[in-house]
Structure 1
Amino acid sequence: MSLSIIFMGTPEFSVPTLRALVDAGHRVVAVYTQPPRPGGRRGLDLQKSPVHQAAELLGLPVLTPVNFKDQEDRQRFIDFKADVAVVVAYGLLLPQAILDGTRYGCYNGHASLLPRWRGAAPLQRAIMAGDKKTGMMVMKMDKGLDTGPVALTREIEIGEAMTGGELHDKMMLVGAKAMAEAMMKLELDELPLTPQPAEGVIYAAKIDKGETRIDFAKSGVEVHNHIRGLSPFPGAWFEAAIAGKPERIKVLGSAVAEGVGQPGEVLTDDLVIACASGAVRLTRLQRAGGKPLDAADFLRGTPIAPGTRLA
């Protein structure tokens, strides 16, 4: 026995779940993903999404509708007569016709402990907020934004030094196992659905470029959480005068430190920076067009002396 599944996903985060469903013996009758986008060094080549590439390697049919406004696209989805649709970071809002277009509906792998952090950037927001734990949830989708009933939960501890990238890599593997387990239970008619609580709803808005700049007027802990939540992408940054010219420096690693000074003041020669309360040590940095470097290697080529003010 196996389910016939339509898989819907786009980034690298989605790929392990697609592979897990295939490895579990389910029949993936179609893969939906975002259309190829301009990329490459000059931005001129159309780049297929990671899910698109993985599906082709698995020999699965791929569809890339821009949206589901066209009735022909909706009907094509329905005509697969799939048992269920599995959605992991697809990137499109699904109309009711798609939500109802399979036997069992659509099940989403969401990277938070719902109802906390509904929306686009739950991984980054959890770390930036200083959360101690998060999780992967399998939920049955409805017309709301991550509001459907929860079928399965797997909690994950967030270490004090864990970055957004590290949490991403851990959660995509946990999420793949969770979805494979959920689909096995669905096939056996043993998958319970529990409505989300009305309390504790928080939205994880997409990360805006304007909030990636480091604000040293916050506490050392808050600055550290900001840096690690945005590492490695899109990356938190500060501006400093390098060789007499202002330059944006990306920070990919940090640690909470002790120190007192004006917010943004460099306190030591190993990049302890004063914050509104406490301090933060910058441990990994990257200049524009350069490679990420540990602080000691970075400072050999780009000295930033104590007393310098970072903004």
Structure 2
Amino acid sequence: MIYTVTFNPAIDYVVKVDHLTLGMVNRTAQEDIYYGGKGINVSIVLKNLGIQSTALGFVAGFTGKEISDGVAATGVSSDFITLREGMSRINVKIKSQEESEINGQGPMIHDDELEELYKKLDEIKDGDILVLAGSIPNTLPEDIYEKIMARLQEKDIRIVVDATKDLLLNVLKYHPFMIKPNNHELGEMFGVVLKNNDEIIHYAKELQKRGARNVLISMAGDGAILVTEDGETHISATPKGTVKNSVGAGDSMVAGFIAGYLQKGTYENALKMGIATGSASAFSEGLATKEAVEELLSNMQ
């Protein structure tokens, strides 16, 4: 079984405004609602690809109920913990001449509610996959990823971590199965500006030396680089298409990587599926569908 964890789920309210003018009343040209959070996105895309998972995390208030209902409507199984205070956040994403975001803060999570999550994670079995994705709300300890991985390290669980800087660096000692920084985040970790593939590969291998098994570096329109635990390096370009939506593309790449690895058991296929699935989301208004992914795969070298 695959489990995803989203600590701070959200309703993403995406609006298009033809010409956004600050300080004035603006009318929307289009409005869409998505049930967001990086782990939830991974679960939805896996479902679209025909793979079941269970989405874990915290929800609160009327917005939390809407998130739970919305996730269920996609066909994804969830086992969210309902918090006794606050409300799940609403993120407003404005698309106009430029893209802007206003992200909500999220609810308070108490110690006993966090312990409830730990107990659910304790039920994960050998051979399962766990995806830890996204930022940590300020009501949780900053080392929550480390605590989870330390708690599970005696089990044979493949843990995928999609987080930034210290959140990612601090878990490497627990040997995550796969990590997915982008090229800019990779440079920030080492205080450098990466200028070419050779430099990206060099620093990806530095992350391996610190404990990561497989390092997937996403590079937006320039594709991705995968440095594997068996000493191989795979480089893949992005298929051609028009980018319509950047939200969820990285999460879709994670889902595609997992699906591709489970499909054939090879990292080469995992990377190919990851690229195709991330691109399928970027080229559409929503998250990748199986049909869109298959179409891109058929045109990839």
Pairwise TM-score range, normalised by the shorter structure: 0.3 to 0.5
TM-score (norm 2): 0.38
Structure 1 or 2: larger helix share?
Answer: 2
Structure 1 or 2: larger strand share?
Answer: 1
TM-score (norm 1): 0.37
